[in-house]
Amino acid sequence: MAAMTRGSSTLFRRWLTQQCRRRSAAHVALRLLPAAAAATATPQRRWPVRGMDYRASPRAPLHASAARRGPVVQFKLSDIGEGITEVTVKEWYVKEGDKVSQFDSICEVQSDKASVTITSRYDGVIGKLYYRADDVALVGKPLVDIDTEPASDAIQEEDVVETPAMAREEHTHQEIKGLKTQATPAVRRLAMENNIKLSEVVGSGKDGRILKEDILNFLAKQTGAILPPSPFRETASADPPPAARPMPPPPPRVPAGRDSVEPLKGFQKAMAKSMTAALAIPHLGLCDEVDLGRLVELRSELAPEARAQGLKLSYMPFFIKAASLCLARFPVLNASLDEGCQNVTYKASHNIGVAMDTDLGLLVPTVKNVQRLSILEVAWELNRLQELGAAGQLGTADLSGGTFSLSNIGSIGGTYARPVILPPEVAIGALGRIQVLPRFDASGQVTRAHVMKVSWSADHRLVDGATMCRFSNTWRDFLQNPAAMLLHLK
Ligand code: CO6
């Protein structure tokens, strides 16, 4: 069997290289397309970004006509969709007195569903900010005043444009003295804070994009400062194993000896809401252990090759794909129950939510249609979601539509967990850390096994223990014999 695993892994490796090449080309094309579109778009264009609701915001014809005379335009926070009525202002990219151009990022706001960048439709000067960072801003209420330029032909009827933060780079084209500068809002902010004009900085990124390093270098040249080492993340391979990760310092939030009361906001508020709803679900629990020896071997062969193509191949894509193969056999675990427990909907798509530990708290972005994806495609998608999660830029589309979830608590060192179902889903699995432990093999000899504990929770109104156990056994078998998954790959 080991020989079979090795033989099939060679085949798999060849196939992986092809897929990586194909994927890289597609990835580049996808990234270029919107940028090209942005460069040629008229100012009126609303950006077609996946997952956002593009319903027209309330019109403000007064602004349009008044702005042509160069008045102060009062931006109101317009409807973001999804029934969102309030957002938290995460960060301002401008301050009062700043000059802004169309498409410049003004601020980033956070709802309980997504992070959204508000961009300017006007050329002008910021007159007033109605909120401070961390304040709660209300939909329909003023967000910012802009003294528009009399000659501005950019006046629109809508108050603000909302774009999901994940698409920010596509909105950062700016014309300054005839030169187009490209930079992310964070880089613009850094420039702004240091009174640096982007038009004076030479960008070292793709197509002349200005990077954070360019700003720091510019600053260093101006001040003669010595730069610290690049703050950009090392590759995944340089990460220490989970158990060896240094403990992050505790945030100094509560002054010693004093209680502090803070309102729940954003994702934390959403977690409180969904976990309260989860209390209404009678959970059944089932735990088992999986010997991942062969998967550990297979991944160690494949990961360097994937890494060479710019992809981090962790264990998760295998766990996710194995779950999807099992959901095809046990569709009741990829279903939802209506409120009165009268009907069950069996979902056609395997949209597998992955619990993610981010600076904003626990988020569960979903890898969509896993039933149609290869393990490699799942890995690319997971990489994308992790990057967005790390940057606090996951949008509504990525955070909704889940049909089943996995929580890898092992990646932060946990061994056992009791996962809580995310309604309207009916099942979730928690995965512990892979430990090297002694186990008996088939001939009764003690061997080194790579053991991972898995804990499942299912909605007992719909799922019985035997079904959950059969699902778990099938999932375990796929992962104990990963070569068997090859037979199901398309
Ligand atoms: N064991 C051992 N090693 C692991 C494991 C386990 N379970 N999981 C990941 N890793 C390794 C992984 O292979 C990487 O190793 P190298 O490739 O050699 O560098 C490394 O740890 C880092 O992996 P990473 O976390 O970056 O990627 P992965 O794809 O495994 O996981 C993720 C992605 C989004 C799941 C993860 O980053 C994450 O956020 N995990 C925390 C999830 C969480 O917070 N769950 C709790 C939710 S609340 O469920 C809950 C019931 C309660 C407890």
Residue type, 257: G
Rounded Cα distance, 424 and 434, in Å: 30
Please state whether the peptide bond connecting residue 419 to the residue before it is cis, i.e. omega within 30 degrees of 0. Answer: no
Cα of 320 vs its chain's centroid, Å: 17
Please tell me if the CB atom of residue 431 comes closer than 6 angstroms to any atom of ligand 1: yes
- Say how many Å lie between the CA of residue 354 and the centre of ligand 1: 10
- Say how many Å lie between the CA of residue 27 and the centre of ligand 1: 24
pLDDT of the residue at 76: 85
Please tell me if the CB atom of residue 428 comes closer than 6 angstroms to any atom of ligand 1: no
- Name all contacts of 170-174 with Cβ < 8 Å and 24+ positions apart: 170/34, 170/35, 170/37, 170/38, 170/47, 170/49, 171/38, 171/47, 171/103, 171/105, 171/117, 171/119, 172/103, 172/105, 173/35, 173/38, 173/39, 173/103, 174/101, 174/103, 174/104, 174/198
Neighbours of 38 (CB within 10 A): 18
Rounded Cα distance, 128 and 78, in Å: 17
Helices of type H across 166-292: 185-193, 212-223, 266-278
Rounded Cα distance, 102 and 173, in Å: 9
Q: Which residue lies with its CA nearest to atom 50 of ligand 1? A: 419
Angle at 220 between CA 217 and CA 225, to 5 degrees: 140
Q: Residue 456, SS3?
A: strand
Please tell me if the CB atom of residue 111 comes closer than 6 angstroms to any atom of ligand 1: no
Rounded Cα distance, 463 and 446, in Å: 37
pLDDT of the residue at 173: 31
Please tell me if the CB atom of residue 5 comes closer than 6 angstroms to any atom of ligand 1: no
Q: Which residue lies with its CA nearest to atom 5 of ligand 1? A: 411
DSSP state, 183? B
pLDDT of the residue at 205: 75
- Say how many Å lie between the CA of residue 121 and the centre of ligand 1: 41
Do 433 and 381 contact (CB within 8 A), yes or no? no
- Say how many Å lie between the CA of residue 290 and the centre of ligand 1: 16
Helices of type H across 41-184: 61-67
Tokens of 37: 């579109």
**Sign of the dihedral through C-alpha 163, 365, 82, 345:** positive
Active site amino acids: 460, 464
Q: What is the atom index within ligand 1 of the atom nearest the CA of 314?
A: 13
Rounded Cα distance, 102 and 121, in Å: 5
pLDDT of the residue at 463: 98
pLDDT of the residue at 349: 98
- Among 128, 123, 132, 119, CA closest to 153: 123
pLDDT of the residue at 63: 33
Residue segments in the chain with a per-residue pLDDT below the cut of 70: 1-69, 80-82, 151-181, 185-186, 206-207, 220-255
- Which residue's structure tokens are 């993610």? 356
Please tell me if the CB atom of residue 388 comes closer than 6 angstroms to any atom of ligand 1: no
- Say how many Å lie between the CA of residue 253 and the centre of ligand 1: 27
Please tell me if the CB atom of residue 408 comes closer than 6 angstroms to any atom of ligand 1: yes
- Say how many Å lie between the CA of residue 460 and the centre of ligand 1: 28
Instruction: Give, for ligand 1, the residue of 406, 408, 457 to mutate: max count of ligand atoms closer than 8 Å to Cβ.
Output: 408
Please tell me if the CB atom of residue 411 comes closer than 6 angstroms to any atom of ligand 1: yes
Do 292 and 479 contact (CB within 8 A), yes or no? yes
Tokens of 392: 């606090």
Q: What is the pLDDT of residues 220-248, one digit of tens each?
A: 666 543 333 332 222 223 233 444 445 66
Using a cut of 0.85, tell me whether the model's pTM lies above it: no
Instruction: Give, for ligand 1, the residue of 375, 411, 422 to mutate: max count of ligand atoms closer than 8 Å to Cβ.
Output: 411
Please tell me if the CB atom of residue 285 comes closer than 6 angstroms to any atom of ligand 1: no
Please tell me if the CB atom of residue 433 comes closer than 6 angstroms to any atom of ligand 1: yes
**Who's near 160: CB < 8 A, 6+ residues apart?**
57, 75, 76, 77, 78, 106, 118, 119, 121, 143
Angle at 395 between CA 394 and CA 401, to 5 degrees: 105
The residues pairing with 356 across neighbouring beta strands, listed in sequence order, are: 363
**The CA-based dihedral angle spanning residues 292, 294, 296, 300, taken in that order and rounded to the nearest 10 degrees:** -170
